[in-house]
Structure 1
Amino acid sequence: MQRHEIILNTLAKEKHIEVLDLCKQLDVSAVTIRKDLKLLEEKGLLFRTHGGASLENPYINEKAVIEKEKISVEEKNGIAQAAAKRIDENDSIMMASGTTIQALSKFIKPKNKLTVITSSLHAVLHLIHDKNIEILQLGGYIRHSSASVIGSYAAHILENVSCSKLFLGVDGIDLDYGLSTTNLEEAQLNQKMLVSTQRTIVLADSSKFGKKSFAKICDLDAVNEIITDKGISSLTKKKLEEKGVEVTII
């Protein structure tokens, strides 16, 4: 069917499509589009999502940090370098966990003093060699898969601090669901971080878009900027900007 070909061609280009956009493009009802998507999913050609469809399974399973480090390495390094430029002289920042956050720690070279609060053990191992960086390592239980701290002890420390920027890594970014991760306690700690910062900058390679995981961190209106790579679709970029999110593509 020609309509199915158009849907698949659009999906191949955009990676994620929405029912309402397809309705306008094909001049048919939402009921018709949903039937088309259901049929195409049954054939194994796409995955249905809330309000649309994706080429990749939108539901994320947890992977160990050692596996994640091997994925999209060039993109993560580019994103990390761009993020490092957001750090000002005598700044105070917060760094969550994740492999893109680890990459960021390699590119931080403060001109003067810098204060870093982080839950990431790997980030600390990179930052500790620079005497200009004062580090507050959050304490608590260690999440082995991400080599990061989680739990109420870490959250309690955040009640008494404030930073200019939070650099946040995520497992999924969905236009409706928002930001998410695979671990509930990590999501709760990220929520505490959001309250303790003036500006939230999400570091995410393009594979994270159109995906969601078990634990929601926040809606997109809590995000100031997303730094990503050129694999993001033009449609996703446009919709993020319509929601007030600044999108920087490296």
Structure 2
Amino acid sequence: MKRHQIILEKLAQEKYVEVLDLCKILGVSAVTIRKDLKFLEEKGLLFRTHGGASLEDPYINDRHVTEKEKISVEEKNGIAQAAAALIVENDSILIGSGTTVQALAKFCKPIGKLMVITSSVHVVLELIKFKDVDVLQLGGYVRHSSASVVGSYALHILENVSCSKFFLGVDGIDLEYGLTTTNLEEAQLNRKMLSSAQKTIVLADSSKFGKKSFAKIGNLDQIDHIITDKGVSTTVLDKLEDIGIQVTIV
């Protein structure tokens, strides 16, 4: 069927499509599109999501940081370099966990004094080599898979903290559901870090869009800036612009 072919071609281009967009393109009802997507999913050609479909399985399971380090390395390094350029002299920043924000620490070249608060053990190891960088390592239980801390001790430290920027890594970005990660406690800590920063900057390669994981961090309207790579679709970029989120493509 030609309609199915158009859906699959759009998916191949953008990796993620929404029901409402397909309705406009194909001139049919949402009921018809959902039937098409169900049929194509049964054939193993796509994965249905809430409000759309994805070329890849949209549900992310927890993976060890050493495995994630090997994925989209070039894209992550480009995103990290663009993020590092946003750090200014005498800045105070929060850095979450994940391989992309870990790369940010690697590319960080601080000018003057810099205060960093982080949950990531790897970020600390990257930044302690700078004598003008003061690092506050949040305390708590260390998650083996992410090499980062979680728990009430870390939350307590953040009660009396205010920083200019929060650099956040995520496992999934769903345009309707929001930002997610694989661990409930990590999501809770990220929410607290988000509330402790004047501006939140999400570092995510394009493979994270259209994906959803177990634990919700927050809605898209809670963040200010996304840095990603050129693999993100124009449809997604348009929707992020409508929300009012600044997007940097590397």
User: TM (normalized to structure 2)?
Assistant: 0.99
Moved over 2 A (4+): none
SS of residue matched to 1:71: coil
The match for 1:210 is 210
Using the aligned pairs only, state the percent identity: 75
The aligned runs of 1:93-104 (5 Å cut-off) are 93-104=93-104
The match for 2:176 is 176
Aligned mates of 2:229, 2:111 — CA distance in 1: 27
Aligned mates of 2:207, 2:155 — CA distance in 1: 29
Aligned mates of 1:111, 1:248 — CA distance in 2: 23
- 2:164 pairs with 1:164: yes
Q: CA deviation at 1:219?
A: 0.2
CA RMSD of aligned residues (A): 0.5
The match for 1:222 is 222
The match for 2:108 is 108
The match for 1:131 is 131
Aligned mates of 2:16, 2:66 — CA distance in 1: 28
Which amino acid counterpart does residue 110 of structure 1 have in structure 2? P
Aligned mates of 2:99, 2:21 — CA distance in 1: 34
The match for 1:44 is 44
Which amino acid counterpart does residue 19 of structure 1 have in structure 2? V
The match for 1:64 is 64
Q: CA deviation at 1:148?
A: 0.2
The match for 2:194 is 194
User: TM (normalized to structure 1)?
Assistant: 0.99
Instruction: Pick which of 234-243 and 164-173 moved more.
Output: 234-243
Aligned mates of 1:29, 1:78 — CA distance in 2: 41
Aligned mates of 2:241, 2:151 — CA distance in 1: 33
Instruction: Pick which of 10-19 and 36-45 moved more.
Output: 10-19
Structure 1: any 5+ residue segments left out of the alignment? none
Q: CA deviation at 1:204?
A: 0.3
Q: CA deviation at 1:54?
A: 0.5
Aligned mates of 2:24, 2:209 — CA distance in 1: 22
Instruction: Pick which of 237-246 and 201-210 moved more.
Output: 237-246
Instruction: Pick which of 9-18 and 181-190 moved more.
Output: 9-18
Which amino acid counterpart does residue 181 of structure 2 have in structure 1? T
Q: CA deviation at 1:244?
A: 1.1
Deviations 1:162-207 (A, max 9, x none): 0000000000000011000000000000000011000000000000
Aligned mates of 1:209, 1:231 — CA distance in 2: 10
Q: CA deviation at 1:14?
A: 1.3
SS of residue matched to 2:192: helix
The match for 1:89 is 89
Q: CA deviation at 1:111?
A: 1.3
Which amino acid counterpart does residue 120 of structure 1 have in structure 2? S
Aligned mates of 2:111, 2:58 — CA distance in 1: 41
Q: CA deviation at 1:26?
A: 0.7
Number of positions where the alignment pairs a residue of Structure 1 with one of Structure 2 = 250
The match for 1:148 is 148
SS of residue matched to 1:165: strand
